[in-house]
Amino acid sequence: MKPELFLGNEAVAQAAIDAGISGVYAYPGTPSTEITEYIQQSKQALDRQVRCNWSANEKTAYEAALGMSYAGKRALVCMKQVGLNVAADVFINSAITGVNGGLVLAVADDPGMHSSQNEQDSRFYGKFAMIPVLEPSNQQESYNMAYEAFQLSEQSQLPVMLRLTTRLSHTRSGVLRREVLQPKSLKLPQSSKQFLLLPIFARKNYRHLLEKQDLLQEWAEQSKYNFFRDGADKSLGVVCCGLGWNYFQEVFADSEIPYPRVKISQYPVPVSIIRKLEELCDELLVVEEGYPLVEEQLHDFFGKGKPVHGKLDGTIDRQGELTTDKVGRALAVIYDEPFSVPECVVPRPPSFCMGCGHVDAFKALDEAIASYGAGHIFSDIGCYALAALPPFESIYTCVDMGASITMAKGAADAGFFPAIAVLGDSTFAHSGITGLLDAVNEKTNMLIVISDNQSVSMTGGQDSAAKDIIETICVGLGVDTRHIRVFVPLKKNHEEMVQIFKEEIEFEGVSVVIPRRECLQKAMWRMKRNKTK
């Protein structure tokens, strides 16, 4: 069999299909989005009737995947690192219920915050939940680990986390595939109480989770993905985690690696392998992308013994993506500057697309509130958050998915007027609905702007769970139909839009304004697809 060229994310997706999944559940989020998109476009997945639509948010995605596992089938659930915060409730509890069919969580972290609010490291969630975590170092391992993770999940009866990072997710390499497995048959759990987390059953399940930890440790010690390699220079031992192994090898691409080293790609941390390295070497260096999870544990292992270097003592920069250059500096390897930036390269800060409907909506909203001064618009995560940048500088908050409505509500509760929340159609379905329910229940004096471009545009135009039903949802939650206003955000409608915003700001209570125009990028993709049919 010849290797096939895959992105890291595509390798995970193909492995899941080959391993016999019956469904993938996800909410789009960079850098994880391509996993689900690949399965959606796969003829193999289509022929096998793999369920692959987008979910409303990461929590609903994880819960649905857990339900498929309950029924005995293999399920894949995908998200980015901040999405795991949304799914944290069910994720942690699923470690206690355990699984029936194999359940694999592919979570893509974004060190460097290329398109995220933070750099959080999902390995901590895996350790917190006490489940196996796999961290591939290249595309072949991404495939192999995703393929084997379903079996590991079924053997341990636990969900298994596959932790990826941006650079691995978005780079390509040749990958050898394996035997294509048949989907599992429907089969209920052996215990009818396994998924009942009532305290009397939850205590028993939690004890089982604790009892499994020795076995998970033993598997990590024996894993083919964790190993020791000797070196002549015992002054330093190097511990490399996941993609850090690749960067470390690149430092010595033209020479023999002098140091003893350990590769870790399956967690819990393999203690005996680390101890072997520690006994041989004078000092240790930990190369890991994200937070200093392993480095912190090695400090605990060795107490006041041999020095452990890494991100905690500044040997490796704690912020941003790991790079070969950073690892090289930590090892005192001198590099020539490989590239210099040519003068013609200019900074390209993010901005709205030409002709974007959000632009016309913000121009009208800014004019409508000009007399109130600055600081009145609370935003959410999405394209419209670009209004924080010049020339608009319209919004003042952007914290997490769904926070626009609830933060504006809190400000309104404090007497702030006008309190205006701006979010998109997908974000509204993701986690804005409950905030609107709070506002309606308390008759909060606020304006909510749901800027509807009919897609999850920031991540590539995926379908929004709220498509064509926003007004119905608002009415169902109790918003007065007279104060649900819809218009088309176009320059020619500017005066009408300003007037509608002013009227709804003056209304005392909850009002919803919906500027609705299809995302131009998505419209172009749609027309292109229609031409090719």
**Dist CA 169 CA 23 (whole Å):** 21
Q: Is 345 left (phi over 0), alpha (psi -120 to 50) or beta?
A: beta
pLDDT of residue 26: 97
pLDDT tens across 356-368, in order?
999 999 999 999 9
**Dist CA 27 CA 491 (whole Å):** 32
Contact 260, 277 (CB under 8 A): yes
pLDDT of residue 95: 98
Torsion of CA 133, 139, 143, 149, to 10 degrees: 0
Residues of the chain with pLDDT under 50: none
Domain boundaries defined on the chain: 4-186+195-222, 227-331, 357-523
Angle between helices 357-368 and 494-506 (to 10 degrees): 50
Q: Is the peptide bond before 270 cis (omega within 30 degrees of 0)?
A: no
Burial of 337 (0-12, 13-18, 19+ CB in 10 A): exposed
DSSP state of 439: H
Domain 227-331 identical in fold to domain 357-523: yes
pLDDT of residue 300: 63
**Dist CA 501 CA 499 (whole Å):** 5
The domain made up of 227-331 has a fold known as Rossmann fold (3.40.50)
* CATH number, domain 357-523, options 3.40.50.1980, 3.40.50.970, 2.60.40.60, 3.30.413.10: 3.40.50.970
Beta strands in 368-415 (DSSP E): 377-379, 395-397
**Dist CA 285 CA 287 (whole Å):** 7
pTM for the complete prediction? Answer: 0.93
**Dist CA 289 CA 280 (whole Å):** 25
Enter the tokens of residue 32: 């994880």
Half-sphere exposure of 243 (CA within 13 A, CB side): 22
- Which residue's structure tokens are 């942690």? 92
| Amino acid at the residue 470 | I
Q: What string of H, E and C letters represents the secondary structure of 305-332?
A: CCCEECCCCCCCCCCCCCCHHHHHHHCC
Kindly list the distances between the CA atom of residue 127 and the CA atoms of 92, 95, 131, 302, 343, in Å, as whole numbers in the listed order.
10, 11, 7, 20, 46
**Dist CA 153 CA 164 (whole Å):** 18
CATH 3.40.630.30 fits 4-186+195-222, yes or no: no
Burial annotation 373-395 (CB, 10 A radius, 16+ → b, else e)? eeebbbbbbbbbbbbeeeebebb
